[in-house]
């Protein structure tokens, strides 16, 4: 039997590998599966209750997720405001290394780093928000137009090697090639009053005052 040309042989081998599902990381680089993200406290395009903002108790809201891809090893969550920041988005919360068994996040995740996480998310750790603190910090936009707050949930094909206090960029870089699924819920928050003047240095934009 005549040998296949080298290019054809390589193509056949690649085809067999793809059919067999070889390369978990490569598969994670495709289009992520849509995760359904919900909350008993938040609704898309609806105002965030004051308790979850800097104008209230400033506690993290409850989240749930479903339609999770098979093979999920961990979850990560980013809360960001693309209507603020220099450059945007402004980061309000990072929490990662959430166990694959978790069905969501309970309300009021501890802000004390020495406090134990709730049992259903044991092992989860928090990253640095835009205020350089490893906690949830609720919305506090300047008076003016409503801001949109994206609670983004990622399911990951591999555990992340990240310590406490990672930045958004570090988290995004660590997740590259590992995202199996992604979904979000996007409520809003608005402070009533005249629009705040632009800060030339961008240091206070979107950060507000508690």
Query: Which CATH number characterizes residue 181's domain?
Result: 3.90.280.10
Q: For residue 84, what pLDDT is reported?
A: 96
Confidence band of 62 (pLDDT split at 50, 70, 90): very high
Number of domains composing the chain: 1
**Residue 11 is assigned to a structural domain of this protein:** no
Q: Which pLDDT does position 30 carry in this prediction? A: 76
What mean pLDDT do residues 89-115 have? 96
- Asked if the structure places residue 81 within a domain, the reply is yes
Could you give phi then psi for residue 50, rounded to 5 degrees? -60, -30
Supply the pLDDT for residue 171: 98
CB of 107 closer than 8 Å to CB of 88: no
pLDDT-based confidence at 113, cuts 50/70/90?
Answer: confident
pTM of the predicted model, to two decimals? 0.79
173 occurs within a structural domain = yes
- List strand residue ranges (DSSP E) for 85-129, in order: 90-99, 104-105, 125-126
* Residue 118 scores a pLDDT above 80: yes
CA distances from 111 to 36, 42, 71 (A): 26, 21, 30
For the chain, give the mean pLDDT.
Answer: 84
The pLDDT value recorded for residue 114 is: 85
User: 145 near 83, Cβ under 8 Å?
Assistant: yes
The answer on pLDDT for 119 being more than 70 is yes
- In this predicted structure, the answer to whether residue 191 has a pLDDT above a threshold of 70 is yes
**Residue 18 falls inside a structural domain:** no
pLDDT tens for 129-142 read: 999 999 999 999 99
Q: Is the pLDDT of residue 4 over 80?
A: no
Evaluated on CA atoms 89, 180, 161, 74, the torsion sign reads positive
Give the pLDDT mean for 139-161.
Answer: 97
Indicate the pLDDT class of residue 194, thresholds 50, 70 and 90: low
Residue 7 covered by a domain: no
Tokens found for residue 184: 């979000």
Domain interval for residue 60? 32-189
Question: Looking at residues 7-15, what average pLDDT do you find?
Answer: 40
Task: Burial-class residue 138 by CB neighbours within 10 Å (0-12, 13-18, 19+).
Answer: buried
**Is 1 a member of any domain?**
no
CA distances from 141 to 43, 74, 147, 201 (A): 19, 31, 7, 17
* Inside any domain, residue 6: no
Q: Given a cut of 60, is residue 201 above it in pLDDT?
A: no
The answer to whether residue 157 sits within a structural domain is yes
Which pLDDT score, from 0 to 100, does residue 46 have? 98
> What's the chain's length in residues?
210
């Amino acid at each position: 039997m005549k040998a296949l040309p080298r290019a054809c042989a390589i193509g056949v081998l690649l085809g067999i590998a793809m059919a067999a599902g070889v390369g978990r990381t490569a598969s994670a680089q495709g289009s992520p599966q849509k995760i359904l993200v919900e909350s008993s406290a938040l609704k898309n395009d609806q105002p965030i209750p004051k308790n979850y903002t800097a104008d209230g108790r400033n506690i993290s809201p409850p989240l749930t997720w479903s339609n999770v891809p098979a093979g999920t090893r961990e979850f990560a969550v980013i809360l960001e405001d693309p209507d603020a920041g220099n450059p945007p988005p402004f980061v309000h919360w990072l929490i990662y290394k959430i166990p694959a068994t978790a069905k969501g996040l309970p309300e009021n995740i501890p802000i004390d780093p020495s406090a134990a996480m709730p049992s259903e998310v044991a092992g989860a750790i928090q990253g640095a928000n835009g205020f350089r603190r490893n906690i949830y910090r609720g919305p506090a936009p300047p008076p003016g137009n409503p801001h949109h707050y994206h609670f983004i949930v990622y399911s990951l094909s591999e555990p992340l090697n990240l310590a406490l206090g990672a930045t958004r960029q570090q988290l995004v870089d660590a997740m590259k090639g590992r995202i199996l699924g992604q979904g979000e819920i996007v409520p809003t928050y608005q402070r009533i009053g005249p629009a705040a003047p632009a800060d030339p240095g961008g240091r206070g934009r979107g950060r507000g005052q508690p």
